[in-house]
Structure 1
């Protein structure tokens, strides 16, 4: 099955999640992430800002700020199809931007070097258990991740309904290390295993 059709099918499934389920599942995923050693030991976290029916990251951003993390979010540069990172110190610094996704207001843009990042929270539409993903089709994250040290942990957060057996792959695709869903934490390097919060 091609990426476009898979993307459409999973987005349709995700859109049918009830509001209550979406909130419960998002909270479960967030709790697993906040309880992980990767989060606790990180200094600079890159996370996407969720929109529509994605797993909610707004509370993650607020928690990171409360926990004195350097919390950076991507700014989409349409002309070059790249992501730049900006430090967020208050959730109210964000406003709707490209694709209606919350992004830092101009007066609060504080660009940071991607080399400072020691944990990356990765979005996506479809995932398999080996960490390969289908995004929204822009290629922004594949280009960004290709320039990041491979030792920086990459954790995807997604609902269980977004996990399939195998995602179509291209040579430039970069898998994530873990996927946290409301049901399990998948170690993508040992994809048949589920890990516990305390092991992440």
Structure 2
């Protein structure tokens, strides 16, 4: 399959999740991520504001702030540029042209200062590859960091091996967490 077909299929599978299932995914995400030694050792984390069909991240953002971590979320500045902006409990947000919540009046944090990343994607594989939304924002930023990169996905969007072409600029994850698995499955 090519990446476009994977994107379409993966989005459809994510959109099939009910509100109840999304709530369970959010709880499992928090439980599984916060148990990781890499999370526990991290000081500055990159999270993302999930779109309505993605695995919800709001609770993880709140927990990270409560734990005293410096929390960043992406903000798109141009067709090819994304920065990570530090947020706090009083941060205001607005919807981007893509419909994603982005922070207002925040300061950018350099990618190399982030030690733990929760990376969005539409599909992941056991060989730690990722299919994102296609604009390359994350691959460009992730190429600038040595921070721990954790992909998160549901079982139906987790492939035994990447069945899509891997481009030279694609950045592999350090691990992939299948959050709909009750057994806390982490690969990598």
TM-score by length of 2: 0.91
Distance 2:97 2:37 in 1: 33
* SS of residue in 2 equivalent to 1:94: strand
* SS of residue in 1 equivalent to 2:29: helix
| Aligned partner of 2:106 among 103, 106, 109 | 109
1:134-173 correspondence to structure 2 within 5 Å: 134-149=131-146, 152-167=147-162, 168=164, 169-173=166-170
Distance 2:109 2:29 in 1: 27
Tell me the CA shift for residue 165 of structure 1.
2.5
Partner of 1:174: 171
Tell me the CA shift for residue 87 of structure 1.
0.7
Partner of 1:6: 6
Tell me the CA shift for residue 7 of structure 1.
0.9
Distance 1:2 1:91 in 2: 42
* SS of residue in 2 equivalent to 1:98: coil
1:17-166 correspondence to structure 2 within 5 Å: 17-79=17-79, 81-90=80-89, 92-105=91-104, 108-149=105-146, 152-166=147-161
Tell me the CA shift for residue 113 of structure 1.
2.0
Distance 2:26 2:88 in 1: 22
Q: What is the root-mean-square deviation in Å for CA atoms of aligned residues?
A: 1.4
* More moved, 84-93 vs 37-46: 84-93
Distance change (3 Å), C-alpha of 1:160 and 1:91? farther
Q: Which has the higher helix share?
A: 1
Tell me the CA shift for residue 25 of structure 1.
2.1
The answer to whether the 8 Å contact 1:62/1:91 transfers is no
Question: Gaps (5+ residues) in structure 2?
Answer: none
Please identify runs of 4+ aligned residues in structure 1 that moved more than 3 A. Answer: none
The answer to whether the 8 Å contact 1:76/1:98 transfers is no
Per-residue Cα deviation, 1:126-158 (whole angstroms, up to 9, x for no partner): 111111011001011111111212xx2101111
Tell me the CA shift for residue 34 of structure 1.
1.2
Tell me the CA shift for residue 91 of structure 1.
5.9
The answer to whether the 8 Å contact 1:129/1:163 transfers is yes
Tell me the CA shift for residue 92 of structure 1.
4.8
Distance 2:29 2:70 in 1: 21
Give the total of aligned pairs.
Answer: 183
Distance 1:61 1:129 in 2: 26
Distance 2:38 2:123 in 1: 23
